[in-house]
Amino acid sequence: MKKAVILAAGEGQRLRPFTVTKPKAMLSIAGKPILQYVAEALAQNGIREIIIVVGYHREQVFDYLGTGEQLGINITYVTQERQLGTAHALAQAKNVVDGGFLILPGDNLIDADTIAQFVTTHSNAVLVKTVEDPSRYGVVLTDNGLVKSIIEKPREAESNIINTGIYSFTPDFFDCIGDRLDIPDVLNNMLAKGKSFQAQETEGTWLDVVYPWDIIKLNNAVLRHSTARLGGTVEAGAFVKGMVVVGKDTFIRSNSYILGPVVIGENCDIGPNVCILPSTSIGNNVVISPFSVLENSVIGNDVNIGPASVVQDSVIDEGCVIKGHFSACSGEAELRVNDEYHLVNIGAMLGAGCRLGNSVVAQPGVIVGNHCQIQAMKLIGGKLPDRGCVF
């Protein structure tokens, strides 16, 4: 297998507000977009000719990955102007694919081991995985290692084996797409006509990000496999323990306590007297002011968090400016996404560019849209739309 197609055109509406300004595949996990992890997994398995199907906010993919030279790969871009489905997206790549090829979702967390065996296949195949809750996915029914059918999001699953969205296809797959919009529909039609597809199972990392709180889950998974690296300056009196990454030109001020796994980006100013607890990722150009505590959270680039703040189980997107004594403590909350209700333990979800005054308290599960303004000493809860104001 020499080529791979990565599908990265989708938006991810259930992940709003974080996907209003970026495609789902460009969500940052432990300092890197999900799409980069997929490309790196391919490169580590010797696949360096990669076609990326882009669409929604495609300019962000262009700007970040470019030609792929920095990752040691060669990227060809094709565009899906309207995001109609995975098969429709794949069809856009027909003229740039020759011979057998892999297909991977650009918005799933995949590591090199996950596809290490799969890249050696030379026939039509589906990579499958056993999960505890298959109802969120396409359930794959198999017989003697062959796919019998794929049933999308069944109410009662007959199997715990699910479709990862990773495929190996021969070029004749393009001829079978027709007017079908999704790959499982094409595949089921081909099965009905007697075509065979292998079902190859993986035990490697494969994680989907569907809801805003999934960002924290993926962040945890990546941090568990990170390698410690201190690239900045740790002042005397600061305590750094465990797997901690500190980026270039970052200062960890005296009397700060950092317990890994933690990733801190470049050009950050942390402390003094800041406590950063496990499973926290901090982007580039971030300021964490004295006496603040962060735990199990994802902080985007260019965020400024004022003194004596507490942030637990939260996601704060890029460019937020938060004054002192901010409180985003974790708790059980029932969240509605479209027509679905979920009971989760969560802190606050803040979109990009928000401005919060002093002593704001965020109730567990609050979802704040992009570029919201919240005046000092307010209690916020529920869901705030983009550019909302609380006075």
DSSP 8-state code for residue 178: T
CA 267 to mean position of chain CA atoms: 23
CA-CA distance, 278 to 260, in Å (whole number)? Answer: 5
CB 102 within 8 A of CB 5: yes
Q: Specify which residues 358 forms β-bridges with.
A: none
| Number of residues in the chain | 391
Q: What is the pLDDT along the chain (391 residues), one digit of tens a residue?
A: 678 999 999 888 889 999 998 999 999 999 899 999 999 999 999 899 999 999 999 999 999 998 988 888 999 999 998 888 899 999 888 888 888 899 999 999 998 889 988 888 878 899 999 888 887 788 888 888 888 888 887 777 778 888 999 999 888 888 888 888 899 988 888 888 888 888 888 888 888 888 999 999 999 989 988 888 988 899 999 999 999 999 999 999 999 999 989 999 999 999 899 999 999 999 999 999 999 999 999 999 999 999 999 999 999 999 999 999 999 999 999 888 878 888 999 999 999 999 999 999 999 999 999 999 999 999 999 999 999 999 9
One-letter amino acid for residue 58 of the chain: R
Sequence spans of domains, the chain: 3-210, 222-390
User: How far is Cα 158 from Cα 324, in angstroms, rounded to an integer?
Assistant: 52
148: its two tokens: 């019998």
Q: Rounded distance, CA 178 to CA 78, Å?
A: 19
Q: What is the fold, at CATH topology level, of the domain defined by 222-390?
A: UDP N-Acetylglucosamine Acyltransferase; domain 1 (2.160.10)
Q: DSSP assignment, residue 127?
A: E
State the Cα–Cα distance between residues 178 and 186, nearest whole angstrom.
8
Calpha distance 359→379 (Å, rounded): 9
Centroid of chain to Cα 230 = 25
The residue among 309, 266, 256, 272 whose CA lies nearest residue 286 is 266
Q: Give residues with Cβ within 8 angstroms of 144, minimum separation 6.
A: none
Secondary structure (3-state) at 59: helix
CATH of the domain spanning 3-210, picked from 3.90.550.10, 3.30.390.30, 2.40.30.10, 1.10.3720.10? 3.90.550.10
pLDDT at 98: 82
CA distances from 257 to 254, 313, 330 (A): 9, 18, 21
Backbone angles phi, psi at 359, to 5 degrees: 60, 35
How far are the Cα atoms of 276, 332, 348, 362, 385 from residue 381, in angstroms, in the given order? 25, 13, 9, 6, 12
**Cα maximum dimension of the chain:** 70
Which residues are registered as beta bridge partners of 130? 161
- CA–CA dist 300, 281 (Å, integer): 8
The predicted pLDDT at position 171 comes to 84
Q: Is the bond leading into 171 cis (omega within 30 degrees of zero)? A: no
Rg, the chain, Cα only:
22
